[in-house]
Structure 1
Amino acid sequence: MKTKAVRLYGKSDLRLEEFELPEITDDEMLAKVVSDSLCMSSYKAALQGGDHKRVPDNVAENPVIIGHEFCGEVVKAGKNVAHLAKPGDKFTVQPAMFYKGSLEAPGYSYPFYGGDATYIIIPSEAFETDCFLKYDGEAFYHGSLAEPMSCIAGGAHVNYHTKFGSYVHEMGIKEGGKMALLAGVGPMGLGTIDYALHASRKPALLVVTDIDPVRLARAEALFTIEEAKKQGVELHYVNTAEKDEAYVMELSGGTGYDDVYVMAPVKPVVEMGDNILGMDGCLNFFAGPTNTEFKAEFNFYDVHYAATHVCSNSGGNTQDMREVLKMMGEGRLEPSVMITHVGGLNCVPEVTLKLHDIPGGKKLIYTQIDMPLTAIDDFAELGKTDAMFAELAKIVERSNGLWSAEAERYLLKNAKPIG
């Protein structure tokens, strides 16, 4: 079977190509990809090429398919994995397989296994590591966004706290504690707010900072202070271009914060996070830098006498994905808040390389269609001359301006096929 896919050949070298997939083995599956959400990790891999830890050194001779936040349907299953899914079943994947200790992952390392493609081959190691997940949800994009949401769940689980006199670490954010989310209204920040408000373990205080007033206003409209109160959380939004670090510290009652998330790899943001940690405070360095020499100062006096500490995670695990899929199914998480743009497979090479410079949140790709990357906010204007966008504008208006399962169904039925 032929597939169309975006393949990485080297630094900033992405190509949309059509090529033949080999026949699957008894331990593999042939699958159709429907949606893939673009990730800054793909941008970093595209910039670094073979220098990236997950990308093969010989990528120029053996290109890999990019994209790792994808959802689709099984087309054919080899006989040894046929019991796991049948043709037509929806699926999503956990890309962090760590197969036999390897960092290889879809979207970085495989010639036939990645999200930005029409058809792919799911290899045996995805099944051996329990990283293939059947998905029963209505919308494909929920399956795609389960991966970034699993990273957020993993972030909450990787935080830890201690007790004086004990060497046992209590994993997770401090229940009923004080939490700060710095540079926290990007797409992953919005997902973290959603998770913090609706997971079983919640903080009592959540302070979200950023310097972008437009993004802060959108976050506050999506996750209101009143709604947070209903969840038992005191929520504050702070523009740190207008309010200083002392104000953020004051909101904690002067004690500092139990859990501080740093959502941007910016030296002053990291150092502010360190400064506002309370006793036994945990700083989660969530956003990975592209600069391999990135450094920031950390107060080691407080490490010694206040038990402050740092943790991080570069992804979630399969258990995290199952958790967030369950929460989505129960209506406790709505990942649509992360999505600001929608496009087709044709736009992936250009958009991935410019991802750092395109404003807004998640860029959602439908791999079976041909469509330029389009902001949801632009649907109404485009609808003045395009009937498809006119209808999409009406659909998203009914869902408070957010992408929805109804919008997905309409787009897949009416958009131009990738051809």
Structure 2
Amino acid sequence: MATRMKAVRLHAPGDLRVEEVEIPEINDHQVLVRVRAVGVCGSDPGRVMKKGTYSYPMTIGHEFAGEVVKVGARVTSCKPADRVTVAPLIPCGNCDYCKTGKFNLCDHYSYYGSRVDGAMAEYVAVEECDVLQLPEGLDFESGACTDPVAIAFHALRQGNLKAGESVAILGVGPIGLFAVQWARVMGAKEIFAVDIFDEKLEIARNLGADHVINARKEDPVASVLARTGGAGVECVVEIAGSRITQEQGLRMAKKEGTVVFCGISYDDLIIPSATLDGILRKEIRIVGAWNSVFSPLPVNEWRIALHFMARGLIRCQPVISHRFRLEEAPEVFQRLWKREEFFNKVLFIP
């Protein structure tokens, strides 16, 4: 086995380089994974180009799948040649939230690609607790999408969506497109997909959305209300992370409905008095959705995601729009940051 590898390393915001580095060593509780596919999260362009990571240089990338090549002396759950995906959050295991199985709410977590070296490389060292086996027949590219698939599932669970109810999904990038599919699997009566790009809305329609709304061409609140007899929808999932769609989501919710804020926002949300009055009078429930649940109990959303992906009920291939080599990463992130062309789920194939 070689001792050096290619890795995409961030040296400062906007300073992304493809370098040759040492293949990481592993301790007794870690696993060395040969990366077969790694995705670009919607948060990655902003982190790479503006926000930065917690230390430098840092190998980026946290959505990935690959093949186990080496395991630590105390690892028992996997072995070399296993096909795996990896949850990106590294829980401390000691805080109150970890002790109750809520790893996504860990007080002292670490994270691949921002706090420790990630997977936009040929190899990555990961903790055993984060490793999940890929079901037989599920390809590595789909395996690399498990994180956004699980995030979408978690958001709908937070929204308490029930069979026979209507849902509006605001923002149909990859997570939104997976949310459309989950809503169909979960028995939604009517699915509204809202975005500002026709290309994304067409994919949403093909994946199960009943109504697609381009918010540049029509008022999404008026459109949802018109199609629901003025009542609104029982569940709204906001994934765009825009203060515009956040406020719109509050206005299109039905009485006693739930609005889930899932998209990462970088702006203040100022709620107009009329919208606030609607929250009070309609008794709307507002809830956050952060990451996803991958602890063994009570519900492992990652295992559920893999189950439905393996059976073709949640499809990843229609969401993937681009595939690149690691060497192309600096130029690709410039293009992603400028937003001058259409991208959906972007994968790098080491």
TM-score by length of 1: 0.72
CA contact (8 A) 1:12 1:49 kept: no
Equivalence for 1:156:
156
RMSD: 2.0
Q: What are the superposed Cα offsets for residues 390-409 of structure 1, whole Å, 9 maximum, x if unpaired?
A: xxxxxxxxxxxxxxxxxxxx
Kindly tell me: are residues 189 and 310 of structure 1, through their superposed partners in 2, closer, same or farther at Cα, counting changes over 3 Å? same
Q: Report how far residue 49 of structure 1 moved.
A: 4.4
State the one-letter code of the partner of 1:196.
A
- Tell me the number of residue pairs that the alignment of Structure 1 and Structure 2 aligns: 324
Kindly tell me: are residues 211 and 11 of structure 1, through their superposed partners in 2, closer, same or farther at Cα, counting changes over 3 Å? closer
CA distance in 2, matches of 1:361, 1:328: 18
CA distance in 1, matches of 2:32, 2:197: 44
Q: Report how far residue 353 of structure 1 moved.
A: 4.1
CA distance in 2, matches of 1:31, 1:280: 46
Residue of 65, 90, 100 corresponding to 1:97: 90
Equivalence for 2:305:
324
Equivalence for 1:87:
80
User: In structure 1, the residue corresponding to 2:141 is in which secondary structure?
Assistant: helix
Equivalence for 1:190:
177
CA distance in 1, matches of 2:132, 2:235: 31
User: In structure 1, the residue corresponding to 2:88 is in which secondary structure?
Assistant: coil
Residue of 258, 267, 277 corresponding to 1:282: 258
Equivalence for 1:395:
none
CA contact (8 A) 1:35 1:141 kept: yes
Q: Report how far residue 22 of structure 1 moved.
A: 4.8
CA contact (8 A) 2:181 2:208 kept: no
Map 1:17-416 to 2 at 5 A.
17-50=19-52, 55-56=53-54, 59-60=55-56, 63-81=57-75, 83-99=76-92, 100=94, 101-111=107-117, 114-122=118-126, 126-127=127-128, 130-138=129-137, 139-159=139-159, 172-184=160-172, 186-198=173-185, 201-220=186-205, 222-223=206-207, 235-244=210-219, 245-289=221-265, 291=266, 293-297=267-271, 299-318=275-294, 319-356=300-337, 357=339, 358-367=341-350
Kindly tell me: are residues 143 and 301 of structure 1, through their superposed partners in 2, closer, same or farther at Cα, counting changes over 3 Å? same
Q: Larger % of strand: which?
A: 2
Q: Which has the larger radius of gyration?
A: 1
Kindly tell me: are residues 320 and 352 of structure 1, through their superposed partners in 2, closer, same or farther at Cα, counting changes over 3 Å? farther
Q: What are the superposed Cα offsets for residues 40-92 of structure 1, whole Å, 9 maximum, x if unpaired?
A: 22222213445xxxx32xx23xx2211011111111111101x2211111111
User: In structure 1, the residue corresponding to 2:110 is in which secondary structure?
Assistant: coil
| Structure 2, unpaired ranges of 5+ | 95-106, 295-299
State the one-letter code of the partner of 1:146.
T
Q: Report how far residue 211 of structure 1 moved.
A: 3.2
Kindly tell me: are residues 78 and 242 of structure 1, through their superposed partners in 2, closer, same or farther at Cα, counting changes over 3 Å? closer
CA contact (8 A) 2:24 2:123 kept: no
Kindly tell me: are residues 133 and 217 of structure 1, through their superposed partners in 2, closer, same or farther at Cα, counting changes over 3 Å? closer
State the one-letter code of the partner of 1:104.
S
CA contact (8 A) 2:84 2:133 kept: yes
Kindly tell me: are residues 20 and 304 of structure 1, through their superposed partners in 2, closer, same or farther at Cα, counting changes over 3 Å? same
CA distance in 1, matches of 2:147, 2:251: 31
State the one-letter code of the partner of 1:223.
L
CA contact (8 A) 2:250 2:279 kept: no
Identity of aligned residues (%): 27
Kindly tell me: are residues 137 and 64 of structure 1, through their superposed partners in 2, closer, same or farther at Cα, counting changes over 3 Å? farther
Equivalence for 2:100:
none
Structure of higher RCO (CA pairs closer than 8 Å, 6+ residues apart): 2
CA contact (8 A) 2:134 2:143 kept: yes
CA distance in 2, matches of 1:326, 1:109: 29
User: In structure 1, the residue corresponding to 2:290 is in which secondary structure?
Assistant: coil
Kindly tell me: are residues 29 and 211 of structure 1, through their superposed partners in 2, closer, same or farther at Cα, counting changes over 3 Å? closer
CA distance in 2, matches of 1:49, 1:212: 25
State the one-letter code of the partner of 1:136.
P
Q: Which region of structure 1 is more displaced relative to structure 2, 147-156 or 11-20?
A: 11-20
User: In structure 2, the residue corresponding to 1:354 is in which secondary structure?
Assistant: helix
State the one-letter code of the partner of 2:79.
K
Q: Report how far residue 224 of structure 1 moved.
A: 5.4
CA distance in 1, matches of 2:158, 2:29: 33
Kindly tell me: are residues 320 and 203 of structure 1, through their superposed partners in 2, closer, same or farther at Cα, counting changes over 3 Å? same
Any runs of at least 4 consecutive aligned residues in structure 1 with deviations exceeding 6 A, and if so which?
A: none
State the one-letter code of the partner of 1:242.
K
User: In structure 1, the residue corresponding to 2:47 is in which secondary structure?
Assistant: helix
CA distance in 1, matches of 2:38, 2:131: 15
